[in-house]
Structure 1
Amino acid sequence: MEDMSTTSRVLAPSGDPSAISMRQQPPPPIYITYGPSPTPPPLPPLSSSELFIRAPPPLSHPCEDLLSGREDYINTCVPLYQASFNGDWEAAKIILNKRLELVRYSITHNFDTALHIATAAQHTKFVEALVELMEAKDLELQNIHGNTALCFAASAGNMEMIKIMVSKNRRLLTIPGAQGMMPLYMAALVGNHDSVNYLYDDSDKMTGDFWVHRNRVWVLIKCIEADLFDIALKIVVDRPEVVPNVGVLLALAQKRHAFDDMKPNVFQGIVKSIDVKLGVTEARREAMKLVRLILKNIMRMRKKFVDELLRGPHDTMMKNGKAVPDMKDGKRMYSSRILFVAVEMGNTNFVIELISQYPELIWELNDNNQSIFHVAVSHRQERIYNLLYDIGSMKDMITRLEDPEGNNMLHLVGKKAEKNQLQNVSGVAFQMQRELLWFKVNMFLLASVLGCLPYFFLEFLFSFRC
C-alpha cells in the first residue's frame, strides 16, 4: 500500500477539465461529490479552412447500479472509493474478491470507477494491481466528462501509469476525453517530455478514428509552448499539413527564451539575400531547426495565403452581444501580426529567420504606421533595434517614418517605458539607471544613423555616469 502523506490534492489544471479536488480525509460516507470542475484552458483558434472535427463517439459509461440503491451505495461504493483514494490495495482486494464486476461500476456520481479514483490520487501500485484484474475493455470506461483513466494519467504526466494502461489496451490512445481532447494533448498541456514522447511514438503519428487535423494542430502548439521542440519537430516532419497555422506561428513568435543563446553574427543585404549564421547551442538546436522547417514549408505556399497567415486574425470587439471586426478609419485592425508579436517579445532570432525567408517584411508597417524598429524602440528591445545598422541605406527612410501622432523613432526613444517593461529591474534607482542608459545608447545609435548630432554633443552626452 502506498503512503498517502504526499497526496493532498491531485488535479490537472491545464489538462483535465474534470480534475478532482482531493482532501486528506475522505468525503462524508453518504455523498461522494466533487467541487465544481475548473474551466479547461481555451483551445487554440483555428481558421475556417481547417478540417471539420468529427463527432466524438458515444460515451462508454460504467454501470450505475450501485448509485441507485442507498444500501449498496453506502456498503460498497464508499468503502471501495476510500480504498482507491487512499491506495489501500488490501482493503480493495477484499471487496473485489467478493464482486470482481465492481471494476466496471461507477462509485461516484461523476461516474468514476475505482481506476479513475486511484489514478487521480497517483497510486501507481494500486493501479497496476487493479489493471491486472480488469479486462482490456474495462479501461475504456469514461466518467461523466468523457475521460478515461488514461486521461487522468496523461494529465498528471505519470509515465508508469500511462505504460500500465497502454500496454493493456492500446485503443485508449485514440479515445478522446473532455472537449475532444486526446490523451496526448492532455500530456502536452502538462509539458512532461517523457510522457508526451511516449504517447506520440505510440500514437502511430497521430492516426486513428478520432485523430483529425484540428487536434493534431493543438498538440503541436502545446509542444511548442512547453518547449518540447524535439517532439514538435517530429510532428512537423511526420505531419507537414499542420504547419500553416496562425497559432503555431504565434507560439513560436512568443518563445524568446528558446532562442536567447543564439547570437546573430551577420544581418546584411536584406533585400537581395540574407546570410545569417547562428551560434547554436545544443540545448536550442531543435528549436532553430523547427523554426526553419516551418518557415520553409510555408514559403512554398501561395503568396496570398502566406500574407494572410503572417497577418494573423483580425481584432474583434463585442457589439450587441456579437463579436464584430474592430475597425479604425474604415480598416480592420490586426494586432496579432506574427512579425510584430516577435518584435514586442524581443525574439530577435525568430525575426531574423522570418525576414530571411520573406525579405519584404522589412517594410511591413503595423496598424499605427510603425516599422519593426519603431516597435522595438517602444518596447525597449535593443537587440532588434540594433539590426537597424545592418540594413544599409533603407534605414534613412525607416527612421524618418512618423506614426499617426507624429512620433518618429527619436521621439519614441525619449518616451517613458511602460511599467511591465521594467518589471524585471528591481528598485527605482536601478530602473532610472536603465532608462538613462537606454536613452544614451539610442541617442548614439540614432545620431549615427541620422547624422544629426555633432561629435562634441555625443561626447557631452556620454560624460555623465549611469
Structure 2
Amino acid sequence: MSSSHLQVHKAALSNDWDSVSQIFEKDPELMTKPINYIGETPLMIAVGTNASHDFVRQLVSRVVDIGGAIDQLFVADSNGDNPLHRAAKIGNTIDAKVLVEQNPDMTQVTDRNGHTPLTLAAWHRNKDTLRYLLKVATESIPGAGEAGSSVYTGAAGGDLITLTIQAGFLDMALEIIGRHPDIIVEENWASKTALEILGSKPEFYRSGSSLGLWNHVIYSLIPLNKRSLEDAQVNIFTEVYNKFTMGFWKVCRYLAPPIKNIYDAKVIHFQSMLLTKRICATILEKADHDTVWKILGSATSAAVEYGVPEVLNKCILTYPDIIWYTDKPGRHLPLEAITQRQEQVYNVLWQSAAHKIFQATMIDEEQNENALHKAAKLAPPHRLNVVTGAALQMQRELQWFKEVENYIEPSFKEARNKSGKTPKETFIEEHKDLLDDAEQWMKDVATSCTVVAALIITMAFAGAFTLPGGNEDDGKPLFLNKGAFMLFIVSDAVALFSSTASVLMFLGILTARFAADDFLYNLPKRMTIGLVSMFVSLAATMIAFSATLSLVLIDKVTWIVAPLVVITCIPVGLFGWLQFPLLIELVNSTYGPSIFRQQKDRWVF
C-alpha cells in the first residue's frame, strides 16, 4: 500500500475529507480505485464505517462533477460486494440513499452469492435500510427482458420474503405480499416458501410463547388497534394502542420494559396469524392444485416438526385434503407429530375426522412401524427437555405411549417392526438409559430430602419436651396461658407430623421397584406428597422457633415480633423459590389437565 493509499484509507475511516481532497484533485482515478488488500475503494471503506457520511457525500459529488462514470462508484471488492451491498449489510441507510440517487437500478444487482441489497438488509436485520430499499427498488431493470428481472420474482423474491419473515419484520412482509402477492409461491435458495418459514417459527405464535401467570394477565389486558395492524402500511406499529387506553399503556411501556416486551410479543402473534391467513387465502386464488399442494404441504410438515398448531390448523381449514400430505414415504402428519412429540399439533390433528383412521391403521411402510412404535421411540432431545428432570421426562414419554395406545388398533399393540420388536419392547429398549437416569434422579432427591426431614423430626420431637420458659412445680408449662405458647405447641406438632409423613414418602420412593410404569403416577405422587409435607414442616419449624423467641424476649424487647416475622419468611421464601417450580411441575404433570386436550365438539372437517 502506497503512502497516498494509506492516507486515503485513514481519511475514509475517520470521515476526514479535507485531508485528502487535494490528493483526489491530482489523481481523480484514486477515488474509484481499490486501495487495500481486499480490493476496497475509498467509497467502500467509508460506507463500511457507517459514520463517514460527509466523506461519502463529498466523494460521490466530486466523481459526478468531474463527469466520471457512475458505474465506477459501484466497483465490487474481492468478495463481490459493491458499496450498496455493504450499506445494506451494516444498516447504513444514509449512504444507501446517496448511492441509490445515482443509480436506482443498483438495488437489483446481486453479489457473488446471488443476494440483492434488499435481501442482504433483511438477512442482517437492518429494518430501516430494508424499508428504504423497498421504497426505491425498481420493479425491473430497463432492457433486462421480462423474466427474472425483478427483485420480487424467482429466487431473489423467495429470498426477500423468507429472510424478511425470518428477521421478524412481519409488518414489512405483509406490505411486500400486499403489493406483490405472487411472491408467496417463490422459493428461496433452500427451496422454501414464506409459509414454510412461518411453519418453522413457533416463537411467532401464541402457542410458542411461555407466559407466567402475571405476564398472561398483562398479555390479555394490553389492547391492539387491529384495524391499524391489518392495514399493513410501512408505519404499521405506530397506531396499535387502543385510543381509550393509549396514555396509560404508553406510560407502562416506558416505565416497565417487561410490559413493552409483552406488548411486542402480542403484536408479533397477531401479525403472524394475519400473515398466515393472507398467504393461505392468496394461494387459493392464484395457484393451481399442484402448487397449493406443494406449498401448503411443506408448510404443514414444517408446522408438525416445529410445533406450530396455528399454521397447521389454518392450512387444513384452507385445504382439508392436505391432511393426507407426505413429504417422504411413511412420514404422515399424525405419525410425524407423535415422532416429534408435538402435542399441540397432535391435538389439532385429533380434531380431524380422519384421526382415528390415521392413528389406528396407518403404518410407516419403510420401517414397518405403526403409531405405537413411533410413540415407543425416545423423544428428540429438544422435546425431551421441555420438562425438568429425568423422572418427569420419563413420565411424559409414558403419557405419550398411553395416549396412542388408547386409539391404536388392538392387533397393532403386539405388531412387530422391521427389527422384530413390539411397541412395548421398543419402548423398554429405547428408554433404558432414561429409566436409569430417572431412577437415579428420584433417589438423589429423595435421599437429600430425607436427611432434611429427619433433622426437622429431631428438632420438633425435642422441642415438645423442652418447652420455652420451663415448667411450674406441678408440671404445667410456665407460659401455658400465653397465646404465643399455643402457637409454638401447634406449629411444633405440625412440624413433627408433616416431617414424619415426608420421611415416609421419601422412604417409599427409595424402596420402590422403579419399573417404567411407576413413573406415570405412583412415584410422582409420592414425590409430590413428600415435598409438600417437607415444606409444611419447614414453615412450621420456623414459626415454632419465632414463637419461642417471642415468649422469651417479649418483656424485654417489645418490638421483637415484627423482625421475627420477617426473618421467618426468609428461609421459607427461599425454599419456595427453589423448590416450588419443581413442585408445581410435578403437580401439574401428575394431577393437572392432560397435555392431550382434544376438543371433541370442534372438528377440522
Alignment correspondent of 2:50: 122
The answer (yes or no) to whether the contact 1:166–1:172 under 8 Å persists in 2 is yes
- Deviation string 1:258-278 (CA, Å, 9 cap, x unpaired) is 123589xxxxxxxxxxxxxxx
Alignment correspondent of 2:206: 260
Does 2:133 match 1:133? Answer: no
Does 2:178 match 1:237? Answer: yes
Alignment correspondent of 1:464: 523
State the AA in 1 paired with 2:371.
M
Counting only pairs closer than 5 Å after superposition, residues 16-415 of structure 1 correspond to structure 2 as 29=1, 74-108=2-36, 110-125=38-53, 126-135=55-64, 137=70, 139-144=73-78, 146-167=80-101, 169-204=103-138, 209=144, 210-211=149-150, 213-214=153-154, 215-246=156-187, 247-248=192-193, 249-261=195-207, 281-300=266-285, 301-310=287-296, 337-365=298-326, 367-392=328-353, 394-400=354-360, 401-404=362-365, 405-415=367-377
State the AA in 2 paired with 1:354.
C
CA displacement at 1:296 relative to structure 2: 1.9
CA displacement at 1:200 relative to structure 2: 0.4
CA displacement at 1:154 relative to structure 2: 0.7
Structure richer in helix, relative to its length: 2
The answer (yes or no) to whether the contact 2:196–2:302 under 8 Å persists in 1 is yes
CA displacement at 1:403 relative to structure 2: 2.2
Separation (CA, whole Å) in 1 of partners of 2:48 and 2:385 = 38
Structure 1 pair 346–102 and aligned structure 2 pair: CA distance change class (3 A): same
Separation (CA, whole Å) in 2 of partners of 1:139 and 1:424 = 53
Separation (CA, whole Å) in 1 of partners of 2:114 and 2:518 = 64
Alignment correspondent of 2:400: 442
Q: TM-score of the superposition, structure 1-length normalised?
A: 0.64
State the AA in 2 paired with 1:198.
Y
- Deviation string 1:96-121 (CA, Å, 9 cap, x unpaired) is 35445532333246543211112223
CA displacement at 1:310 relative to structure 2: 4.8
- Deviation string 1:382-403 (CA, Å, 9 cap, x unpaired) is 11122244234x3322222232
State the AA in 1 paired with 2:373.
H
- Deviation string 1:22-79 (CA, Å, 9 cap, x unpaired) is xxxxxxx4xxxxxxxxxxxxxxxxxxxxxxxxxxxxxxxxxxxxxxxxxxxx242232
Separation (CA, whole Å) in 1 of partners of 2:322 and 2:41 = 56
Number of positions where the alignment pairs a residue of Structure 1 with one of Structure 2: 344
CA displacement at 1:174 relative to structure 2: 3.7
Aligned identity (percent) is 23
CA displacement at 1:308 relative to structure 2: 4.2
Separation (CA, whole Å) in 2 of partners of 1:368 and 1:345 = 20
Q: TM-score of the superposition, structure 2-length normalised?
A: 0.51
Separation (CA, whole Å) in 2 of partners of 1:431 and 1:365 = 34
Helix, strand or coil at the partner of 1:391: coil
Separation (CA, whole Å) in 2 of partners of 1:292 and 1:148 = 38
Structure 1 pair 134–423 and aligned structure 2 pair: CA distance change class (3 A): farther
The answer (yes or no) to whether the contact 2:398–2:520 under 8 Å persists in 1 is yes
Separation (CA, whole Å) in 2 of partners of 1:144 and 1:444 = 60
CA displacement at 1:219 relative to structure 2: 1.1
- Deviation string 1:183-227 (CA, Å, 9 cap, x unpaired) is 112211112111111110121557765425222222112112222
- Deviation string 1:340-369 (CA, Å, 9 cap, x unpaired) is 222111121111111111111223345342
Bigger RCO of structures 1 and 2 (CA < 8 A, at least 6 apart): 1
Using the TM superposition, name which of 246-255 and 160-169 deviates more. 160-169
Structure 1 pair 90–261 and aligned structure 2 pair: CA distance change class (3 A): farther
Which of the two has higher C-alpha Rg? 2
Separation (CA, whole Å) in 2 of partners of 1:174 and 1:235 = 16
Separation (CA, whole Å) in 1 of partners of 2:73 and 2:112 = 16
The answer (yes or no) to whether the contact 1:365–1:371 under 8 Å persists in 2 is yes
The answer (yes or no) to whether the contact 1:184–1:219 under 8 Å persists in 2 is yes
Counting only pairs closer than 5 Å after superposition, residues 408-427 of structure 1 correspond to structure 2 as 408-422=370-384
Separation (CA, whole Å) in 2 of partners of 1:261 and 1:154 = 33
